[in-house]
């Protein structure tokens, strides 16, 4: 009995150790499964961007809203201002923050130039991402007046033509679902009021795939 006790003790310890390793292995598998499901959820999640341009009585009340999983919502206010020297600048400010980011028109053009070069370099990958973007809706309400009835009628006709071209392009390449245009003439004097609302949807997974493709191209080029 005395000599058999250590053997029994070690057997029990071995069983306990195996049981503990089994529990650890089970928790590890569950953690990996949860991480995989979370990654899959992120890949399939849609990002919604709402662009709102409001111009009323010569004042700008524009903003952009980013939405993710119906949980995260970020609003950025956009405004065009003139400084004391008369230079035009674009101002970006998060709604719940006092921090502003300003960019002059020259900086905006420089950014657009870099963006065009970037688009030319990664044209194939950007086209892949563009094919995955969906425009949910485009709504435009406006009042236009030039001070002359004939000129106002021509301006409204041109506005309708421009909206028709944009809608056709969005429908052909981005599967535009809803579109609405409401333009009213204003004959009392010069006026331009605009209320534009555009909602864009895409998946995070497509952005990740596009980024990986760009990275692979950059690595191959080195």
Paired strand residues for 193? 143
Rounded to whole angstroms, the Cα distance separating 1 from 7 reads 10
Tokens standing for 133?
């973007």
Supply the DSSP symbol for 86.
S
Full-model pTM: 0.68
pLDDT 10s digit of each residue in the chain, 222 long?
Answer: 445 455 554 555 555 555 656 656 767 778 888 887 777 777 778 889 999 999 888 788 888 898 887 678 888 887 655 555 544 445 555 555 554 455 555 666 777 788 788 878 888 888 888 888 999 999 999 999 998 989 999 999 999 999 999 999 999 888 898 999 999 999 888 999 999 999 999 888 888 888 888 888 888 776
**Residue 201: CB partners within 8 Å, gap ≥ 6?**
46, 47, 48, 49, 133, 134, 135, 136
Q: Report CA-CA distances (Å) from 145 to 27, 95, 190, 205, 209.
A: 69, 32, 5, 45, 47
């Amino acid at each position: 009995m005395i000599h058999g006790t250590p053997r029994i003790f070690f057997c029990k310890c071995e069983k306990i150790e195996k049981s503990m390793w089994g529990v650890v292995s089970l928790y590890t598998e569950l953690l990996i499964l949860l991480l995989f499901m979370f990654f899959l959820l992120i890949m399939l999640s849609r990002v919604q961007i709402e662009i709102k341009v409001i111009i009323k009585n010569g004042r700008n009340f524009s903003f952009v809203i980013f939405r993710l999983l119906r949980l995260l919502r970020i609003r950025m206010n956009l405004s065009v201002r003139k400084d004391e020297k008369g230079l035009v600048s674009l101002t970006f400010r998060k709604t719940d923050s006092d921090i502003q980011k300003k960019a002059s028109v020259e900086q905006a053009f420089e950014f657009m130039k870099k963006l065009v070069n970037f688009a030319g370099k990664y044209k194939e990958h950007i086209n892949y991402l563009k094919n995955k973007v969906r425009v949910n809706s485009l709504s435009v309400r406006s009042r236009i007046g030039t001070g002359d009835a004939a000129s106002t009628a021509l301006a409204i006709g041109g506005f309708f033509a421009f909206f028709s071209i944009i809608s056709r392009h969005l429908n052909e390449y981005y599967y535009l679902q809803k579109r609405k245009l409401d333009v009213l003439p204003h004959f009392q004097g010069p006026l331009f009021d605009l209320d534009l609302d555009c909602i864009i949807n895409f998946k995070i997974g497509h952005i990740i795939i596009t980024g990986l493709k760009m990275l692979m191209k950059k690595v191959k080029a080195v």
